[in-house]
Amino acid sequence: MRDSAFVILLPLVCLAYGSGCREPDQITRYRVPKQQPAAASDSREMLVAVTEREGKVYFFKIVGSSAQLTPILSQVKRFLQNVQFSADGVLTWQLPPGWTERKGSGMRIATLVLNQKNQSSLEMAISTLRQTNPDWNAYLTSNLNRWRGQLGLPPLSGESADRAFEKIDARDTTIYLANLEASSANNNAATLPQQPRRPSRSVAGFDASLVRGTPAPGWKPGPVTGMRKACFRLQTDDQALEVTVIPAGGNLLANVNRWRGQLKLDRLNQQQLTEQTAEINAGNLDGQYIVITGAKETILAAIFPRASGGSWFVKLRGDSKLVDAQKASFKSFVASLRFGPVFQ
């Protein structure tokens, strides 16, 4: 982009915001800074460590730029070497100097904040899931390729996948560390996005200060009030559905059983819940996805941990026939979501 100023017709602004433009034939001028080529140091990088104990898998994940992550790699390795399990099987660690800890909820155990001199802080998300594949190497490879996909990198297999992990001997367990970088040589690799500016007006269907995304074609904005930070609706002649995004507390099992109760279904136990959930992603967040099918209605839900505690609940509920037709659209919507304050 060579010119630093452009004349933009108001109808184009209307299209960008979707609604709210009333003034005819007005011309608005904006100063747009020149786009500078992304430096190699701005390439997106991910450090992910994995360990397992008694059927549970524990993840340590940091996402940032190469300039941020490269200097702390040795410190992260020393941190991982001190990870251990208590006598009753609880994961424990020692905070390095300058790090702080925020308590997690649900599948996120904790968020560690890595404060760096002269740079913005980084966050290490520590979470746990039940191991869904008894073949540990296959499980590691599937997760490796999921993370690589988030960076726009192609999948690996066999020895190439094995070499992507560095084994770290912790106090009483082995930790597998992957250092992934979205190389600028990879056409599909994404560089770190600039932090979006807070919009000057609300985007229809979203509380844009907390959540942003791309609704599916045909979805109409609904009321964003109270706990609802996003809302969309779809109506056909005899079918309807509603999509909401809500921050709330409570563990996954309790919320799933509450939704099942709404559809007059029996409660699940933890083992049944594990069998019915799958992994799903929204930006850098790893979450869980479940389908709850009742006699007439179906609920689709994706649940993501919040750094400040609690979870984001992305829920679609409606008539089963319409919901079935919108499953792919819902997953695309979930994948598009970015949550504040960093929107990554």
Over the stretch 153-186, which tens digit does the pLDDT of each residue have?
888 988 999 999 999 999 899 999 999 988 644 4
102 residue type, one letter: R
Residue 41 sits at the vertex; the CA angle it makes with 157 and 97, to the nearest 5 degrees, is 90
pLDDT of residue 188: 42
pLDDT of residue 118: 57
44 residue type, one letter: R
Ranges in the chain annotated CATH 3.40.1000.10: 211-339
282 residue type, one letter: A
Tens digits of residue pLDDT in 65-118: 888 888 999 999 999 999 999 988 899 999 999 899 988 766 788 889 887 665
Q: How many CB atoms lie within 10 A of CB 79?
A: 22
Q: What are phi and psi of 252, to 5 degrees?
A: -60, -45
pLDDT of residue 339: 86
pLDDT of residue 333: 94
If pLDDT is split at 50, 70 and 90, which confidence band does 342 have? low
pLDDT at residue 253 above 50? yes
pLDDT of residue 183: 61
pTM, rounded to two decimals: 0.55
If pLDDT is split at 50, 70 and 90, which confidence band does 305 have? confident
DSSP string, 13-33: HHHHH-S----TT-EEEEE-P
| Mean pLDDT computed over 251-263 | 92
pLDDT of residue 8: 41
| Mean pLDDT computed over 325-331 | 95
If pLDDT is split at 50, 70 and 90, which confidence band does 292 have? very high
| Mean pLDDT computed over 17-23 | 42
pLDDT of residue 19: 42
| Entry field: residues in the chain | 344
Instruction: Note whether 197 and 319 are within 8 A (CB).
Output: no
Radius of gyration for the alpha carbons in the chain, expressed in angstroms and rounded = 22
| Mean pLDDT computed over 130-155 | 85
If pLDDT is split at 50, 70 and 90, which confidence band does 10 have? very low
pLDDT at residue 140 above 60? yes
For residues 209 and 221, give the distance between their C-alpha atoms in angstroms, rounded to a whole number: 16
Which CATH homologous superfamily contains domain 211-339? Answer: Mog1/PsbP, alpha/beta/alpha sandwich (3.40.1000.10)
User: 140 or 194, which is more confident?
Assistant: 140
Q: What are phi and psi of 43, to 5 degrees?
A: -65, 150
The percentage of the chain sitting over the pLDDT mark of 70, rounded to a whole number, equals 78
Range with lowest mean pLDDT among 128-137, 206-215, 267-276, 331-340: 128-137
State the average pLDDT for the chain.
Answer: 80
Tens digits of residue pLDDT in 25-64: 443 344 444 434 434 445 788 999 999 998 889 999 998 8
If pLDDT is split at 50, 70 and 90, which confidence band does 267 have? very high
